Amino acid sequence: MLYNTIINYKINNNNKIIICNFLCYKKKIFNLKIKNKFYKKLLNIKQIIYLFFFFNYWKKIEFKNVCLFTTIFKNNIISNIDALFKLFLISIGKIICNLLNLNQIFEKLQNLIWTNIGCFCINNFNNLNFNKINLIIESIDKIPYLTKFLIPKNVRISNTNRVRLGSFLSKGVTIMSEGYVNFNTYIGKNCMIEGRVSSGVYVSNNTDLGGSSSIMGTLSGGGKNIISLGNNCLLGANSGIGFSLGNNCIIEAGLYITSGMKIFLIIKNNFIIIKAKNLAFINNLIFYRNSINGKIECCKNLTKSIIINKILHKN
């Protein structure tokens, strides 16, 4: 599948494109055809760009350093702009996380200096004159903040440098100051994030991640298993998981459970020893550590719903 965009780009001293604005994006524009009784014609690039203007796909465009860029979402990343465009497609909701091919993303992305007046190539930065400009260096990184490219609607973000491009935030999401959302992630409606959502993680609706909680992702030894949280889940403060949860599940504060840990599952007053990964996607479970013997136990969540503070969630 082809995704196409018109970009207004910026180059470094070596005339290599390092950053751009995505002015317009469209799927499969190369297959656009005009059909009627009299003729059938495949449009060329100039005609396609003309149609974008004619139908007012964007209101204003600067014609300096403008070009058409195309990416194939199943192919490996080939350049810095290709990587940024694929992350942008995730953030605007065109493609759900984990469906795009992000192989070689860190090899192709460039480490840039991100500031309040734009981004700069590291090698060129010291040669620039900023004497009369109030310059603030916000980060030196390969992946920018989400808000460098778009402002999500109906979302509250306490600290924007904690949310990276390539994350998708649904309506009603609140990201508190210590919350962190990495690229290639999905956050469902009305979630409150005070913990860390690692790359590759899918969080469903009405779920709370308590302060300093953590969800194991697919980077840094996390493996290829994609971890997801169901609707109405709660991760207590300083807790964490390395396996997927179903709906209406609770992890006790301070309890980190990896997929291979032994869980004492309580069924009709009897204990069954089972690995945590075998409880993945099962609804209505509570995980906690027995304060007397230290064993990790799991029982049925009889309430079948998590009571949340609606005032805090409302943004």
Which residues are known catalytic residues? Answer: 194
Opening angle at CA 296, ends 291 and 300, nearest 5: 100
Residue in this structure with the two tokens 């194991």, named with its chain if needed: 216
DSSP state of 227: P
CA 131/CA 296 separation, integer angstroms:
59
Residue 25: strand, helix, or coil = strand
Q: Provide long-range contacts, Cβ within 8 A and 24+ apart, for 178-185.
A: 178/211, 178/212, 179/209, 181/146, 182/217, 182/219, 183/87, 183/90, 183/143, 184/87, 184/90, 184/97, 184/98, 184/100, 184/102, 184/218, 185/97, 185/217
CA 251/CA 214 separation, integer angstroms:
11
CA 274/CA 19 separation, integer angstroms:
50
